Amino acid sequence: MIKKFFLIAVVFLVYTCSSSSDDSPEQEKKDSFDREAVLVNIADNIIIPSLEDLSQKLVSLKVDKDAFVATPDQTNLDALRNSWLSAYKVWQYVEMFNIGKAEEILYSFQMNIYPVSVDDVEANIDSGSYDLTHVNNNDAVGFPTVDYLLYGIAADDAAILVKYEDVKYLNYLSDVINQMDSLTDEVLNDWNTSYRATFISSTSNTASSAYNKLVNDFIFYYEKGLRANKIGTPAGNFSADPLPDRVEAFYNNEVSKTLTLEALTAAEDFFNGKAYASSSTGESYATHLKSLDNSALQALINNQFSGARQKINELENSFSNQINTDNTKMTQAYDALQLNVVSLKVDMLQAFNVSVDYVDADGD
């Protein structure tokens, strides 16, 4: 009897020792949810297509910028503004994917940190020499800076065009837009060459796996990039008084709602595995929850997305006007967005039981 037990124990010991190494041999999936299918769907139908679209939109932005630099008149300014907005909308689909090359080069920090630092921008323009990739310039580059350069450098369009008689302004505008384009190409190129393969195979339940990082990134984006930055902070949810100048695209001041709705759609589509700019859906967190017999949570999350959309739809196009006239509607929209923070961060994370990437200590 005891001998048998020892035999079993030895077999077990050998197993436990071998399992502590990192090599995971090819194995047959049984009941386990197919995480790779989720990553494939997200990479091929969401991340790469939205990056491709952003890249195209930035190319048009560059073309219109070149035209404006050649002839800085009202017509070219309007065209440039239009292409800035269409690129900014697509950006809302890209910002949450702070993974791979994007994470490495701090892509989103160089694309959409607002409020823009007017002092830094003006100082850069004045000096004419700057390192746009430098961390100190994160709030002097990207979409918010272009917003300022196209709408905010003077009181009205005529005055703005006068400003552009100074070639330093044209140079800075040009450099910032070129930089956004090349950063995007760098990220897209990495996806298209090597990172996709790394990404889709990284499904283990470890803090550094793509699957777990992506869940954490998504929730972080929803909570910070969407809920706090777009609505909460300007509505004064984190300060003594409202901060209407903290809205996204403050200088344009008519599109903060448009951009927020795009971001909400992006988050909702990502959760449901809906392909970029298409109605087809694939494997996603929603299907993962279903596979865990948790359709109730999946339905709840989608209801709360709709609820948040409803509240945001009630807002004015200009969030800063909304804040100045009736800020309660802003805080209501914030509360509606907050509901999904709970469902995603607590209920969904518990259901997936992913290793969280930021807590490093022993457990009980």
From residue 181, alpha-carbon distances to 29, 58, 112 in Å are: 41, 6, 13
How many residues line the site for other proteins (CB under 8 A)? 58
- Exactly one of 75, 239, 278, 313 binds other proteins (CB under 8 A); that residue is 239
Residue 349 CB coordination number (10 Å): 16
Q: Is 243 in the site for other proteins (CB under 8 A)?
A: no
Q: Which of 133, 206, 265, 272 binds other proteins (CB under 8 A)?
A: 206
Tell me how crowded residue 247 is: count the other CB atoms within 10 A of its CB.
29
DSSP state for residue 221 in the 8-state scheme: I
Q: Which of 151, 232, 248, 255 binds other proteins (CB under 8 A)?
A: 232
As measured in angstroms, the least distance from the Cβ of 333 to other proteins is: 14
Contact between 328 and other proteins (CB under 8 A)? no
Q: Position 106: which residue type?
A: L
Among 2, 155, 165, 280, interactor with other proteins by CB under 8 A: 2
Residue 338 neighbours by CB distance under 10 Å: 18
Q: At 255, phi and psi to the nearest 5? A: -120, 5
Q: Which residues of 17-43 are buried (b: 16+ CB within 10 A; e: fewer)?
A: eeeeeeeeeeeeeeeebebbbbbbbbb
Residues in the chain: 364
Among residues 131, 156, 165, 360, the one that binds other proteins under rule CB under 8 A: 360
Binding residues for other proteins restricted to 86-125, rule: CB under 8 A: none
Choice from 203, 318, 322, 340 touching other proteins (CB under 8 A): 203
190's CB contacts (< 8 A; 6+ apart) are 100, 101
Closer Cβ to other proteins, 203 or 322, answer by number: 203
Give the position of tokens 């077999």: 11
CB of 363 to other proteins, least distance (A): 5
Distance CA 318, CA 4 (A): 76
241 binds other proteins (CB under 8 A): yes
Of positions 101, 163, 168, 345, contacts other proteins by CB under 8 A:
345
Q: For residue 265, give the 3-state DSSP assignment.
A: helix
Q: Which stretch binds other proteins (CB under 8 A): 46-54, 80-88, 278-286, 293-301?
A: 293-301
Q: How far is the CB of 290 from other proteins (least distance, A)?
A: 15
Residue at 202: amino acid letter: S
Among 45, 50, 117, 237, binds other proteins (CB under 8 A): 237
Interatomic CA distance for residues 68 and 74, integer angstroms: 9
Task: For the CB of residue 325, give the shortest distance to other proteins in the complex, in Å.
Answer: 18
Contact residues: other proteins, CB under 8 A: 1-2, 5-6, 8-9, 12-13, 15-16, 18-20, 24-25, 27-32, 35, 203-206, 228, 232, 236-241, 296-297, 300, 338, 341-343, 345-347, 349-354, 356, 358-364
